[in-house]
Amino acid sequence: MAKPWYATVLFILHDCYFNMLDSSGSLIESIESPCEKQQWRQISFHTAVKISILGILSCYVFRDELTRLVHDWVNDKSWSHGFLIPLFSLHFLNQHRKEILNLRPKPSYWGLVFTVAVLAFYFLNLISPSGYAYYRRVCFIGLIGGLVLFMGGWRLVKYTWLAICFLIFAVPLPQRYYVKYTMHLRILSADVAGFLLNLVDGIEATVNGVVIDIVYRGQQLVPKLNVAEACSGMRLLMAFLALGVAMAYLHYRPFWHRIVLLASTVPIAVLCNIVRVSATGFIYVFIGPQYTIGIYHDTLGIAMLPLAFGLYGVLAWFMSSLFVEESEVSTEDIVVRKKEE
């Protein structure tokens, strides 16, 4: 009787584990060469084959989810940044290539347990009528984490956890949650834009949900200004949150600096979107509605990126200047006297 494919996968993992170990329990490939490894091409052929086999098997199991994921990146502008996320993860790995290549890993069976649990959850979610596509896609990231823990142990996880977790930014949120959070951001942007428009003489702005009704010098402007889903700021929020994590990690800073920078990405993204919607309102009134759609609308959205990075940079500079470490330590002059004989 033929074995099911998942039994074959578990057999391969079990066989790989024991083939990696010599009688002393150390990885054979970790002591093949006493020279310190600096480049990825120095990785052993045995390790490259194992990584390739596990990678191909993982992609085969999740082939449908990966295909749909790429389809979303291509067709949904809100998640077009998904193509960049894996590149950032590879860069994070490359940052620690020296430590990873020269690591003496200690495989952990906890990784095997976690891998089996992830696969079980994936198939249960797949056959369940109430299953969610979001969880199935996240399972692929969990599978990567489980395999890394199984093959390299916690020592390898220490240098790869961020690269693995960062992939979560490439997975689109469930549609119902995305629409819910989008609506809150649209209402907030419309309220602030309406408030700012009312500060200008001759403009009367009335906000109804996400629609701004504008009367300019006694004349009703038509059509009404609608804060569309594309103007919700969710697109900017998700992309900038991912970039905020990358920037906080890539630049060496104290831990509390990184926490503040990461936490600031959300209010900065929301603020930039409020500026965008407010600017659109003033363009709508003083220049013309035709300049608030199409390429003009997209250009204004792109212009918010430099503003966001500028605010982020100012915050980083402020925290760096808040506490200045003394670079020079004053020392007292030491006088040495020769003892007279």
Three-state DSSP string of 81-127: HHHCHHHHHHHHHHHCHHHHHCCCCCCCHHHHHHHHHHHHHHHHHHH
Low-confidence ranges of the chain (pLDDT < 70): 1-35, 129-131, 229-234, 250-252, 323-341
Q: What is the pTM of this model?
A: 0.71
The predicted structure's pLDDT at residue 143: 95
Buried/exposed code over 225-257 (b: 16+ C-beta within 10 A; e: otherwise): bebebebbbbbbbbbbbbbbbbbbbeeebeeeb
Q: Are 191 and 276 in contact (CB under 8 A)?
A: no
**Mean pLDDT across the chain, nearest whole number?**
79
Spell out the residues 6+ positions from residue 205 whose beta carbon is closer than 8 angstroms to its own.
193, 194, 195, 197, 198, 212, 213, 214, 215, 281
The predicted structure's pLDDT at residue 324: 57
Dihedral pair phi/psi, residue 251, rounded to 5°: -95, 130
The predicted structure's pLDDT at residue 55: 92
Give the chain's length. 341
C-alpha distance from residue 59 to each of 84, 144, 322 (Å): 19, 10, 48
The predicted structure's pLDDT at residue 191: 92
Q: Are 112 and 147 in contact (CB under 8 A)?
A: no
How is residue 276 written in tokens? Answer: 């965008």
238-287 pLDDT tens trace? 777 787 787 777 666 787 888 888 888 888 888 888 898 899 889 988 99
Q: Which helix (H) or strand (E) holds 148?
A: helix 133-165
Helix axes 133-165, 45-61, angle to 10 degrees: 160
80-90 pLDDT tens trace? 888 989 998 99
